[in-house]
A and B are shown apart, each in its own frame.
Chain A
């Protein structure tokens, strides 16, 4: 039986790396599950400090959410743009220069939206700190800051990664290697979006409704 080592090993490689990244995302999911559980337990342990209902500003958080959702959309467009080209669905041929700049632009937009989200989150945090409602005020605030801060830290690293990816694409152009990296960054970004939807629902919406 004959095999075609060079092409098939490239394929296997791609398959392996993206699959491993999925597995990593699942483990990260468990980490967030731990933080959500902690939040659920400590939600009412305000100990004389403010409760979540007193802190939530739904329009503000809704804006944050919309920014993050839009960024997920643009990173999706970037991946789509990288995959789309004339007449064939394989990844290996035909990366035009025009497409490269389209992908870079979309990534830049995503990055800016991500940074805007981070800026808003920092603003919220500094506002809370200025009012004396920092993470050491009560167990509830500890869990609040930690859950949302961990997500924010992920967004920060995601943004950093996106910046590096853009450097890769500028230097090497679109090739199976950089498209694979783009696939993983976008997976990561969508994952953070999903986590945020849970935060938005469980922390902010249910908090505002005092459920």
Chain B
């Protein structure tokens, strides 16, 4: 009846029980609060059933922040373990639990923090920037969100029932095969990622079509904001890379469930094929994350330098080059596999080549700032932090692209420092910058600048303290994923742990910033175009509508007459005088757009949420070999989607 699920699955050691309690109590508190404030109806009507891209974006951000807390807890636990588990001391975590933690940390940070953060910002901003009322497929968008949430929840459930994978974030076989990982951990890993992966793929298609088909009249490709360009590149990568992940994890699950031999050590399986396949997805994945961050900076730097972006065309070309090159570098993740000198040399050179378009972008940002009137607001601080750390990370990356050097550095903490340099200093700082930059647009009030600056300085100092020592430790020969370390490494590990605490302080200030800003929201109401500049700093169309935008975004679809579409509209109204208020300009700015017609908007629907719920049950069933549940979930999904296909009234009309 319940497959492999027995009461034993809920009984853990003391540390795991703590985590179990946090999840259970957390869930109960949320449910209790919803009952206490009688908010179920509100939650259902306004959020769970929403197909509005702005609400979906906000929910992605909430998911990302919740999971960031868990991922950060994991990081602090690892840092603490490596400080105390020195020499003969075993520390407070068992080796198996430690392995689960570093696996969970990687999986969470990439799939359930960075990806939802990215899709959150894309959802919030892309339709606004291209002057559209919604995405191409609003219902699919809601389903993507809830599938991602279902994946994340399945992963969190592993804290309560059973265990998580203890195999590293990419689950290399043969370790992840049934022979060596007989528990349910790897199955949780596979199905959490499969469910979330379907959501990601659907989002990729959705936004590609949105950008290609839904731009406002006059917005040619070469007039699109750079953020939209980078999202286009990123979505292309999603569409071409995520099916590889789906296939690879599918093959691994066939090995585990049906006893096949794709990656096993016996009967002809090839573990190295898995490593090739997973990185054929994994390397593009890095660029899926970093490209939108590049796009965000390309929006922020011109606004806060009060100059138009330097080298628009080269920015576009660089983005597309990165998209292409990202598919021909994957072997650099395993030069030590032994593919031979020529293969390694090819992939090493390709890896170095990718630094060229990236360098183009860096110089474009620098030239945009050159002779600009720079305003050091928080988004700009995140940009400066990004620039320094990202260049450092980029250079260590080029260093490791040399196969000979990589043989020394492979699997060492040098590598760990490098990719955190890229993912934190690059991706996360970019998303934080975008979050602060677009927050007033979405919520209608600005974030507290002072606390934002405190958060930034704690983050950057903490980041350098936490990761620069890892470069040194890597060169000293310390490998990654150690639950017990040699005493000579301890001093630098203590520095790194202090750094992690400083980062935690930065996160504390971010939370405080949110709370304080919400409390002071009446005082800090943002106009439609709140960033500094003689006529408001905004250059792109999201600033042309109110903050927060109405759910149909634009009462009339704007017409685009050039790059920086909103700036062009402002300039068309003659020199903008300081002190001139928004409402006076508003009518003229949007005058060019005069499609006063009925607005057709999609109706809210719970189907996406229900489908994801069924996917969650189905995933849980497969993990525990509860086959009736797995089948029931799949059949329910099929029936619901078929029933939905017969619904005809999926839109309603707003009279204007």
Interface residues in chain A, defined as those with a beta carbon under 8 Å from any beta carbon in chain B: 1, 3, 5, 9, 12, 15-17, 19-20, 23-24, 26-28, 30-31, 34-35, 37-38, 41-42, 45-47, 135-140, 142-143, 145-146, 160, 164, 168, 171, 177, 181
Contact = CB atoms under 8 A, between A and B. Distances in A.
A38 B595 contact: no
Give the interface SS of chain A, mostly helix, strand, loop or mixed. Answer: helix
6 contacts: A5-B595, A5-B598, A17-B137, A23-B209, A26-B239, A142-B261
Interface in B241-291: 241-244, 246-248, 251, 254-255, 258-262, 264, 266-270, 273, 277, 280
Interface of B: 136-137, 201, 204-206, 208-209, 212-214, 239-244, 246-248, 251, 254-255, 258-262, 264, 266-270, 273, 277, 280, 594-595, 597-598, 600, 638, 642, 645-646, 648
A135 B594 contact: no
Given A31-B247, A146-B260, A16 B273 contact: no
Given A27-B205, A27-B239, A20 B273 contact: no
A52 B213 CA distance: 46
B259 A34 contact: no
A26 B244 CA distance: 12
A15 B213 CA distance: 8
Q: Closest 7 CB pairs between A and B?
A: A45-B268, A139-B268, A34-B247, A142-B260, A31-B243, A47-B268, A136-B259
Contacts of B268: 42, 45-47, 138-140
Contact of A23 (B205, B260, B277): B205
Contact of A27 (B243, B266, B642): B243
Contacts of B204: 27
A92 to B, nearest CB: 16
Contact of A38 (B137, B243, B273, B597): B273
A27 B262 contact: no
B597 A20 contact: no
Contact of A20 (B205, B240, B260): B205
Contacts, number: 118
A41 to B, nearest CB: 5
A31 B267 contact: no
A152 to B, nearest CB: 14
B213 A12 contact: yes
A146 B267 contact: no
A1 B241 CA distance: 43
Nearest to B597: A5
A20 B212 CA distance: 10
Given A20-B137, A136-B261, A142-B254, A34 B277 contact: yes
B267 A34 contact: no
Contacts of B598: 5
Contacts of A20: 136-137, 205-206, 209
A38 B251 contact: yes
A30 B277 contact: no
Given A15-B213, A142-B262, A30 B243 contact: yes
